[in-house]
Structure 1
Amino acid sequence: MLHLTIVAVGRVREKYLVAGIAEYLKRLRPYARVRILEAPEEKVPDKPSPAGVEQILASEGRGIERLVPPGSFTVALDREGVMLSSEELAGRLADLALAGKNEVALIIGGTLGLATSILQQADLRLSFSRFTFPHQLMRLILLEQLYRAFKIQRGETYHR
């Protein structure tokens, strides 16, 4: 069974997102052990300077690095990353399990994204779209796609 650790910057406060996340965590239980770890989110000024942006990203990056399980296959969610179909994601997860890589960390950045150091260390940079999504919403989208991937792997109804 895969162990998935979602490392995300900040907390989710919106009730509808909290409910959706809880629902998909429950649905995923038969397929994988999933946990969400939260790194501290830095306050972003209205118009941060380039140096301020780098400082915020570096601080959040250090928080992320402390939470990523050692030896895990790391996936950084990045708008500029590779795009996979749901079927391709299912295949990648199956390949990781077959290769004995049972610990996978999926990293979601904060308002400003992810530090360059996090992106460079990632085993895979994954994009869900060229659109920018709120990082809190991205947790729900990621969990839904993980659930869909496991259903696809097992040939169970859900995916259309």
Structure 2
Amino acid sequence: MHIRIIAIGKLKDPWMKEGTGDLLSRLRPYTRLTITEISEEKCSSEGEKRRAIEREGALLLTASKNPALLIALDPAGRKMPSEAFADLIREREIAGTGDLVFLIGGPDGLSDEVRERSDLLLSLSEMTFPHTFARLLLLEQIYRAFRIIRGEPYHR
């Protein structure tokens, strides 16, 4: 199984890059995981924001290349405990049906088209985080899921 994360924006903070790198190295024994960064659309006015979100959405969907399962991170999405998330990944791993793709929008969120085309909208928390931080949280949950799947200890 190949897990792909496609995210709007580039990581800038050294600590976030370090955390992401650490989790990617921890995940290597479990799965092939790649991250694709798409440049954030700049908008100078409130009126341009909707068009920027739509352009970012089109880029996210183009980069996803028709995966077996498309999951978009969205604050209004389904909340799921780590064990249920692990079950979702386990089912995909057993099915062996192709890529599992996670989409992370920019600071202004996802386009309606991304929400409609996604197989699942997933919320990482009811709290608000910067969109770049969502990548680190998602990687931690993917790592935790593989530890759960393999019956290996993890921090609670």
* TM-score in terms of structure 1 length: 0.92
Deviations 1:8-51 (A, max 9, x none): 00100110000000000000001110000011211143x613xx
Give the unaligned 5+ runs of structure 2.
none
* Secondary structure of 1:148's aligned partner: helix
Q: Which residue of 2 aligns with 1:48?
A: 46
Give the unaligned 5+ runs of structure 1.
none
Distance 1:71 1:133 in 2: 26
**Offset of residue 139 of structure 1:** 0.7
**Offset of residue 102 of structure 1:** 3.2
Measured on the aligned residues, the alpha-carbon RMSD in Å equals 1.2
Q: Which residue of 2 aligns with 1:57?
A: 53
Distance 1:131 1:121 in 2: 25
Distance 1:107 1:127 in 2: 12
Q: What is the aligned residue count?
A: 156
Distance 1:123 1:38 in 2: 21
Distance 1:144 1:116 in 2: 27
Deviations 1:105-159 (A, max 9, x none): 0000001011110010001100011222101111111000000000000110114
Distance 1:101 1:76 in 2: 19
Correspondence 1:150 to 2:146: yes
State the identity as a percent. Answer: 38
* Secondary structure of 2:15's aligned partner: helix
Runs of 4+ with >4 A deviation? none
Distance 1:40 1:138 in 2: 16
Q: Which residue of 1 aligns with 2:15?
A: 16
- Whether contact under 8 Å (1:40, 1:63) holds in the other structure is no
- Whether contact under 8 Å (1:152, 1:159) holds in the other structure is no
